Amino acid sequence: MKFRYSAQTKEGEIKEGIIDAFDLKEAKKILLEKDLIIFSLEPIKEKKKKKIRIPFFGKVSLFDKLLFAKHLRMMIKSGVPLREAILEIQKESASKKFRAILKKVVEDLDNGESLSRSLSRYPYVFDDLFVNLIKIGESSGTLEKTLEYLVQQLERSYDLRKKITSAMLYPALILIATFVLIGILAFFVFPKLIPLFEGFNIELPLPTRILLWFIKTMKVYGFLLVGLIIFFVSLFFFLSRLRPIKLVNHRIVLGLPIIGRFSRNVNLAYFARTLGTLVKSGVPIVEALDITANTLNNLVYQRYLKKSISRIQRGEEVVSFLRDNPKLFPPIFSRTVSAGEKTGRLEESLFFLAEFYEKEIDNAAKNLSQILEPILLIIIGTIVGFIAVSIIMPIYKIAHTLSGLRR
C-alpha cells in the first residue's frame, strides 16, 4: 500500500514523497525511524487494476493452487530465489492456464513488481486470502511461514471438497443408471407392447394410458420440452450470478433443514480458520475481518461481516456482532470467541472452532449418502413401480381375457 507524506528533517528541510508500507502504522514507523517530523501522511487510492481473465472463465483448480503454494514454500525453504522457484513451478505445472498465469507473474517480477501485486491481477484465481498472506510474508520477511499457513488452509478446503464430491458420487451414479433403465423401459420396451394391447381391443388401465400419453407427448414435443428445460436452467444459472438474486438464493439455502445446517457449518469453519490464520500472521483485526468476508462464498455471511466492520473500528469486540446474529453464529461460537478475546488467545480459539466445525462437516459428508439413499429409493421406486404397473396391468388383462375365451 502506498502513502503520500509531508515531513521535516531535524535540519528543518521539508520533505515530500511516497512510501510503500503494509498499513498506516508501518508507514509512520518507517518515517519516524528516519528521524522525520510528520506533518501529513495519507494513503494513496490506487486505481483499480484491470482484472485479467483467462480462458474458461478464469478457472484454475484448487488442487493446482495447493500444489503451487506447497512447492513454492518448499523451494523457498530450500533457499531457491523466488523468481527461479516460480519459473520452475511454471515449467512443471500440468495446467496450460496456470502455466500462462505463472509466466506473466515471472515477467512482473522481472519488472520489479512484488509477488503479491502480480497475483492480485488474477482475482478469479487468487482470492484475497491468498494475496494478502503473500503480502504479509513479503513485508515481514516471513514468506515461508505465511505460505505454510496458506498450504494448511488450502489443504482443508481441498479435503472438504473431496469429501462432499465422494459423498455425492454414489447417489449420482445410482440416479443416472436408474433413469437410463427407466428410459429403456418407457421408450423401447413399452412401445413394442402397444400393438399387442391394441390387437386385443381391451380398455387400457389408467396408469398405462398416462404412460402412453407421456410417450406420445415426448415424441411430438420432446425436443421443444428439452429445449425449454435447457433454456430455463441456463436462465436460472445466469440470473443466479447476479448479486441480489445470489443473496436471496443463499438466504434460502441457509433456511433449508439439512443443507442449511451443512452450509452454515462450512461458512463457520472457513470463517474461523481464515480469521485465525490472518490474526496469527499479524494482520490487524479490521483488515483481517475484511479479507475473511471477501473469501466467504455465502453472501449472507459476507454482507453481515462487511456491515459489522465499522463496529470493530469504533472499538467494539469481535464477539459483539457475533452475539447479535445467533442464526449465523450460534452461541457456542460466540462464547468461544469471547473467551479467546478475554484471554488474549483469539487465534487459538478460532482454530479450535475451525477444527470443531470441520469435524461436523466430515460427519455430515459421511452421512450424506446415507441420508440421500432412502430419498432416492422412494423416488426411483415410485417411478419404476409406476412403469411396471403400466406394463403388467394390461398383460394381466390380456391373460384374463384369453383364459375366459378358453372356457
> Are the beta carbons of 258 and 311 closer than 8 angstroms?
no
Distance CA 298, CA 249 (A): 9
User: For the purposes of burial, counting CB atoms within 10 Å of the CB of 60, is it exposed (0-12), middle (13-18) or buried (19 or more)?
Assistant: buried
**Between residues 53 and 208, the one the model is more confident about:** 208
If you average pLDDT over residues 65-75, what whole number do you get? 92
Instruction: Classify domain 160-406 by CATH architecture.
Output: Up-down Bundle (1.20)
If you average pLDDT over residues 272-281, what whole number do you get? 86
What H or E segment, with its residue span, contains residue 18? strand 14-20
Partners of 16 in beta bridges: 6
Task: Of 181, 212, 207, give the one whose Cα is nearest residue 195.
Answer: 212
CA 130, 132, 138, 143 torsion: positive or negative?
A: negative
User: Fold identical between 62-157 and 160-406?
Assistant: yes
Task: Of 162, 163, 143, 160, give the one whose Cα is nearest residue 69.
Answer: 143
| pLDDT for 56 | 42
If you average pLDDT over residues 56-61, what whole number do you get? 61
Give 253-259's long-range contacts (Cβ < 8 A, gap of 24+): 253/298, 254/298, 254/300, 254/327, 254/328, 258/371
Q: Tens of pLDDT along 363-378?
A: 887 777 677 778 888 8
Torsion of CA 147, 152, 154, 156, to 10 degrees: 180
Partners of 40 in beta bridges: 6
| pLDDT for 23 | 67
Task: Of 182, 219, 214, give the one whose Cα is nearest residue 380.
Answer: 182
* The C-alpha cell that represents 323 in the structure block: 452475539
| pLDDT for 21 | 66
Global confidence as pTM: 0.66
If you average pLDDT over residues 237-262, what whole number do you get? 86
Distance CA 220, CA 228 (A): 14
If you average pLDDT over residues 204-228, what whole number do you get? 85
Find the range with the poorest average confidence among 23-27, 28-32, 109-113, 241-245: 23-27
Is 62-157 CATH 3.40.50.300? no
**Between residues 297 and 271, the one the model is more confident about:** 271
| pLDDT for 53 | 46
Does the pLDDT value for residue 343 go beyond 70? yes
If you average pLDDT over residues 153-175, what whole number do you get? 80
Domain boundaries, the chain: 2-43, 62-157, 160-406
What H or E segment, with its residue span, contains residue 119? helix 115-119
Does the pLDDT value for residue 27 go beyond 70? yes
Q: Residue written as cell 462487511?
A: 306
Per-chain mean pLDDT for the chain = 83
| pLDDT for 49 | 46
| pLDDT for 89 | 92
Sheet holding 14-20, edge to edge: 14-20, 2-8, 37-43
If you average pLDDT over residues 145-168, what whole number do you get? 82
Distance CA 292, CA 290 (A): 5
**Between residues 101 and 51, the one the model is more confident about:** 101
